[in-house]
Amino acid sequence: MYKLQKELKNKVICITGASGYIGSSLVSQLDKYPVKKIIRIFRKKLKPLKNIEDWALDLNDFDSWLTIVKKSDIIFHLSGNTSIAVAENDPEKTLASEVLPITNLVKASKELFRKPRVIYSSTATIYGLTEKLPVLESHKPVPVTCYDYNKFQSEKYLEIASQEKAIDSIVLRLANVYGPSHAESSSPDRGILSKITEMCFENKTIPLYGSGNYVRDYIYIDDVINALLLTSIIDYKEIRKSSEIVFNVSSGKGTYIKTIFNLIAKEVEKITGVNIDIETVPWPSHVSEIEKRNFIGSAERLKSLTGWLAKTSIEDGVHLLVSHYSREYM
């Protein structure tokens, strides 16, 4: 905590996707640190907050990135499509919204001869249909969906730019992020676990696709925010020594989906006193194979460089998630 306080002091921090699930949570956490300024980049109008500037910019526009790079010490690039289904339905649009901002960011940094720290949120689904677990960063990405391919393209562009010393970037491949949404988020229903929790409070039957015997690596939102902050203050000389800019952000522990659903149901039942039914149903035909895979990620690289650990167990995280929704429903 002290190191973050020291290193973030008087920094100008820009957050793209500031109205999203992760972005809004990051803004809330940064309010605890002595930063000089927080700049929120948004598409939808946000509620004004003290000591925060809001910029309505088109991230596909090069001039927008000239403005951002000129003013920022640290850029958390969290914007972009977060849905595999949306990416599949409109691949050209999602490719532009994901890759074009990255190319413009790098171009702006080169033109201004300025290298703000860039933290880019990618995804662990980029590894594809992996069999060997846990997955290390050295595992070759094999994108299966348009969403994953777009992320991979953006990663490679940042990697090349970093090797050329045109920019100081770090890529975080996030596992399955869950937890309560911040009040400012435009994504209140982010993630399947939030949706299942809501359905439990509404006393609906919970659909469990397939057998439920597939493993996920769920990472609590507060742990993700801590990873974002810690990587923003890494001494980049350490990154250049290894030329590795990619880090997994994962718990390193796998849990069966049916186990997680049962945990949520039991937590809600303790509050409502109403039994919740979980029904096994077939997978919808349109669902990608990536949704059916097993995944556990290793975050040892991140731990060794920053000391980061996923501190929130799945049991504690589910309890916090259910407690959050109980305030809305009870």
Please report the pLDDT score of residue 86 as a whole number: 62
Residue 237, pLDDT above cutoff 80: yes
Please report the pLDDT score of residue 329 as a whole number: 85
Residues 135-173: pLDDT tens digits?
A: 999 999 999 988 899 999 999 999 999 999 999 999 999
Please report the pLDDT score of residue 175 as a whole number: 97
* Structure letter (DSSP) for residue 309: -
* Nearest of 40, 4, 8 to residue 22 by alpha carbon: 40
Residue 87, pLDDT above cutoff 70: no
* Nearest of 216, 219, 218, 214 to residue 280 by alpha carbon: 214
Give the integer Cα–Cα distance in Å for 314 and 319: 8
State how far the alpha carbon of 103 is from the alpha carbons of 119, 154, 298, 323, in Å. Answer: 15, 8, 29, 42
Q: pTM of the full predicted structure?
A: 0.94
Residue 288, pLDDT above cutoff 80: yes
Identify the bridge partners of residue 56 per DSSP, sorted by sequence position. Answer: 42
- DSSP strands (E only) in 31-108: 37-42, 52-56, 74-77
Residue 40, pLDDT above cutoff 80: yes
Domain 2-179+218-250 CATH assignment equals 3.40.50.720:
yes
Give the integer Cα–Cα distance in Å for 246 and 187: 26
Q: Residue ranges of the domains in the chain?
A: 2-179+218-250
Please report the pLDDT score of residue 176 as a whole number: 95
Residue whose tokens read 């060997």: 132
Residue 90, pLDDT above cutoff 70: no
